[in-house]
């Protein structure tokens, strides 16, 4: 009888561990240094009442000539109607590499793609010291910035992918 309780307890621990592991997942958003894009065919769940949508996979961003590459990363966001998502470039650099440069030397190259009903009117802004500058609009774009808060918005549901490369000026 004691062995039965131990087996049930062990099974319960394994089930709890398995559920916790599955819930945590392994996609921490940092990306693989060799590949800033997720596996092909990845889907994101949409807002309640909508079906999961496939997301386009952006090309790798390109750092300007003369910039020393330090690392890459990848983020995905689901924008619900009228909402926005933000990405701090310095924090993303800290998450992607061990010792990012300071703001004066940071180079953040990105390529974004947007899918879904709001893609056509999606907008990307860079906010530096409270001043917003439009970097692009529409379903796809590229930009190179330094330290900034990036704001992604769309008037309707949108699925956003952002691949980025981090570098330092010599």
Q: What is the pLDDT of residues 60-74, one digit of tens each?
A: 799 999 999 999 999
> In CATH, what class is 43-168?
mainly beta
Q: What is the DSSP string of 125-169?
A: EEEETTEEEEEEESSEEEEEESS-EEEEE-SS-EEEEEEEEEEE-
Residues 94-148: pLDDT tens digits?
Answer: 988 878 888 999 999 999 999 999 999 999 999 999 999 999 999 999 999 999 9
Instruction: Give the phi and the psi of residue 79 in degrees, each rounded to 5.
Output: -100, 115
Scored b (16 or more CB within 10 A) or e, 158-167 reads: bbbbbbbbbb
What's residue 5's pLDDT? 42
Mean pLDDT, rounded, for 138-161? 94
- Rounded to whole angstroms, the Cα distance separating 151 from 130 reads 12
18-51 burial, b for 16+ CB within 10 Å, e for fewer?
A: eeeeeeeeeeeebbeeeebbbeeeeebebeeeee
Distance CA 70, CA 169 (A): 11
Max Cα distance, the chain (Å): 71
Query: What's the whole-model pTM score?
Result: 0.67
Q: Examine the pLDDT at 46 and tell me if it is beyond 50.
A: no
**Residue 30 in this model has a pLDDT that exceeds 50:** no
Q: Where are the domains of the chain?
A: 43-168
**Higher pLDDT among residues 80 and 60, named by residue:** 80
Q: What angle do CA 37, 137, 97 make, to 5 degrees?
A: 35
* Model confidence at 31: pLDDT above 90: no
Q: How much is the mean pLDDT over the chain?
A: 74
Give every CB contact of residue 10 below 8 A, 6+ residues apart in sequence: none
Higher-scoring residue by pLDDT: 66, 50? 66
pLDDT for the residue numbered 19: 30
74 CB contacts (<8 Å, ≥6 apart)? 29, 30, 31, 36, 37, 38, 161, 162, 163, 164
């Amino acid at each position: 009888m004691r062995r039965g309780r131990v087996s049930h307890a062990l099974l319960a621990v394994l089930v709890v561990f398995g559920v916790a592991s599955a819930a945590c997942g392994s996609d921490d958003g940092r990306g693989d240094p060799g590949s800033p894009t997720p596996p092909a065919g990845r889907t994101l769940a949409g807002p309640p009442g909508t079906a999961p949508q496939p997301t386009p996979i952006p090309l790798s961003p390109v750092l300007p000539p003369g910039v020393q590459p330090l690392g890459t990363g990848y983020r995905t966001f689901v924008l619900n109607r009228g909402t926005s998502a933000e990405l701090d470039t310095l924090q993303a650099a800290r998450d992607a590499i061990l010792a990012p440069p300071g703001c004066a030397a940071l180079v953040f190259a990105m390529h974004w793609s947007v899918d879904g009903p709001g893609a056509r009117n999606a907008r990307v802004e860079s906010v530096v010291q409270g001043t917003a500058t439009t970097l692009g609009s529409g379903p796809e774009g590229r930009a190179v910035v330094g330290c900034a808060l990036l704001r992604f918005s769309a008037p309707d549901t949108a699925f956003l992918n952002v691949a980025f490369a981090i570098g330092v000026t010599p």
